[in-house]
Amino acid sequence: MSDRGNSPKDKVGDADDENEDGSRGGDGVDDSVALAAELEKVGFNETRVQHSPQAPPEKAEKPRQDAAIDALAQELYEGKYKNILVIAGAGVSTAAGVPDFRSPKTGLYANLGRFKLESPTDVFDISYFRTNPEPFYVLSRDLYRDDLQPTCAHRFLQLLDRQGLLLRLYTQNIDGLDRKAGIRDDKIVEAHGSYASASCIACREPCGMDMVLEHMRSEPIRIPKCGVCSAFIKPDITFFGESLPDRFYELLPNDVERADFVFVMGTSLKVMPVAGIVSLIDKNIKRVLINREMVGDFDHRRDTIFLGDIETTTSALHDAYSSLLAADSAPSATIAP
């Protein structure tokens, strides 16, 4: 989630900057500068990435989708790319039935009327949570579901990881389906946190999610409190007003320099600082967009673009790449003497 602090690290978005999907994101230019400043603190300088001189921007090529999928699968099979960086958003999990928690237009917020919130998304504001955590837990009853299964997109990313091609997955999702799909923990950066763990908002004492779920699903809802200091406990989701996980800033500088290929899928590229990752990548590196609509500057460069249903595209990529791998491992035919 985006964030409303004052420092570069803490400012992920302004309270008044709300995107069409209900998510909040700050001004792209200002936030890109803030992200660059924060990364420089941990030893990353964008000038260290060699950006080759570019020809005037061109419209992206639009090859026939099947041919483009086969060509990309062939490149993956041939080992052309060794360090694939992925930026994933809510669209990756939509097919699993994960509701868009950031959008006030969804039915998720319908039962919060009695709380008379100034804005429905205040339930994800840490200042509000400190005084009244109940709306968040009411919403979480519908938001957190342990019966959800990974999508084709998750399975495709897991295949990349299994083949040793995945450098890192930067996900904006909090559903934990990446991990459930079998992607290794060290390959995942949950930029907005997740429901996988919980802790005290005051002393940071860890708390088991089983206890949190027991309280959340009780009738009436009981708010879990810390056994050490009695402050409220919340899942380790990044609320507005909280910093992104340290892991994001620790890994990003090196990942940006090592990446030799970028997938962007299921995201509006509007919520900083995750959206700013794309601008830090060497301009010569191949980028592939898998999305329902055009985002960012992808229509100004010679990138590969798949617009439409994300499940359809990732399923086709998974099958095409898997077929090549299977053919390679099949035993050779022999002629009997």
Neighbour tally for 294: CB within 10 Å: 13
Neighbour tally for 327: CB within 10 Å: 9
- Decide: 294 and 285 in contact? Cβ < 8 Å: no
- Decide: 304 and 127 in contact? Cβ < 8 Å: no
DSSP code for 330: S
Do strands 193-200 and 188-190 pair parallel, antiparallel, or not at all (unpaired)?
unpaired
Six token digits for residue 50: 């060699």
- Residue in 51, 154, 192, 300 annotated catalytic: 192
Using H for helix, E for strand and C for coil, what is the string for 101-168? CCCCCCHHHHHHHHHCCCCHHHHHEHHHHHHCCHHHHHHHHHHCCCCCCCCHHHHHHHHHHHCCCEEE
Query: Among this protein's residues, is 192 annotated catalytic?
Result: yes
Would you say 203 is a known binding-site residue?
A: yes
Measured CA to CA, the distance from residue 214 to residue 209 in angstroms comes to 8
Would you say 226 is a known binding-site residue?
A: yes
Instruction: Taking each helix axis as running N to C, give the angle between helix 28-41 and helix 246-258, from 0 to 180 degrees, rounded to the nearest 10.
Output: 90
Backbone angles phi, psi at 189, to 5 degrees: -120, 110
Would you say 207 is a known binding-site residue?
A: no
Would you say 229 is a known binding-site residue?
A: yes
Binding residues for Zn(2+), by number, are 200, 203, 226, 229
**Enzyme catalytic residues:** 192
